[in-house]
Amino acid sequence: MISTERLSLLLEKTQEIAKDAGAFIRRERQHFKLDRVEHKGLNDLVSYVDKEAEKLIVTKLSQILPEAGFITEEGTNTTQAEEFNWVIDPLDGTTNFIHGVPIFSVSIALMERDEVVLGVVYEVNLHECFYAMKGGGAFCNDTRIRVSAAKTLSESLIATGFPYSNFDMIDKYLAALKSIMRSSHGARRFGSAAVDLCYVAAGRVEGFFESNLNSYDVAAGTLIVEEAGGKVTDFSGGRDFVFGRQILATNKRIHEETRLDLERHLA
């Protein structure tokens, strides 16, 4: 097991790396052109900015923990290790970035076997660095953060993500969204799952749900939510949310009420 002292040092260095990648992304956005966009699949966009940011991150993480493997969105390094693996989304919210919508982030998590032990999400435009390590609480720019104290769904604001490439469950999803909208203060779609999770952790929204996500979208944010006092599960209430492609994160108090509401429509 990794020591608290070593994990704390890794967390500090990972924040620096995330901010370096964020600075690169911010500079490139100033003169970015749409003709630099590539398509990985239907509405699944990528640019040289994603790829270069990932190369920067992988290179620097390799220096601070040489024995670790990688799970990366853009495939810069896909060699996984038995004990430690970095899980990286170099630009979460690529579509927002491409269109100039100022909500996108860098997401970096460290997994020790099957457990996330470190998470950093850097929101590039607001210069907000959210971070946590296992057992150490959650923070934003050195200020400790906590989930909201709202007790019911009816007094809550819920974040979500809309289907953009897999539309098999779109009718069920819209039914679930309709129910959530009627039961809460409303729904928001920010366009970066990593940011959504951090907003739950910071008490800005009470919950977040989405399906068809990948590990690199959520790994860092899930730890930040839990260390801020929140709860994260899959839609059935289980723990398969990093690799299970469905996630519900809340302030804990509204979790079961929200989960049952979603289950009625998404099961």
Q: Do 140 and 157 fall within a single domain?
A: no
Domain of 256, CATH number, reads 3.40.190.80
Please say which residue of 144, 172, 197 terminates a domain: 144
Identify the pLDDT of residue 166: 67
> Does the annotation place 261 within a ligand binding site?
no
| CA-closest candidate to residue 89, choices 208, 193, 244 | 193
Identify the pLDDT of residue 43: 43
Q: Do 168 and 250 fall within a single domain?
A: yes
Identify the pLDDT of residue 170: 84
pLDDT higher for 201 or 42?
A: 201
Q: Which domain holds residue 227?
A: 153-266
Residue 168 confidence class, pLDDT cut points 50, 70, 90 = confident
Strand partners for 89: 107
pLDDT higher for 168 or 87?
A: 87
> Does the annotation place 206 within a ligand binding site?
no
The answer to whether residue 79 scores a pLDDT higher than 50 is yes
The answer to whether residue 44 scores a pLDDT higher than 60 is no
The answer to whether residue 262 scores a pLDDT higher than 50 is yes
Counting the structural domains of the chain, the total is 2
What percent of the chain is modeled with pLDDT above 70?
Answer: 94
Please say which residue of 144, 173, 197 terminates a domain: 144
CA dist., res. 231 & res. 85, Å (int) = 23
Q: Do 116 and 157 fall within a single domain?
A: no
SS3 229: coil
> Does the annotation place 234 within a ligand binding site?
no
Q: Do 126 and 159 fall within a single domain?
A: no
> Does the annotation place 91 within a ligand binding site?
yes
CA dist., res. 33 & res. 6, Å (int) = 41
Q: Do 219 and 96 fall within a single domain?
A: no
Identify the pLDDT of residue 208: 98
Q: Which of 114-118, 162-166, 185-189 has the lowest mean pLDDT?
A: 162-166
> Does the annotation place 73 within a ligand binding site?
yes
Strand partners for 44: 41
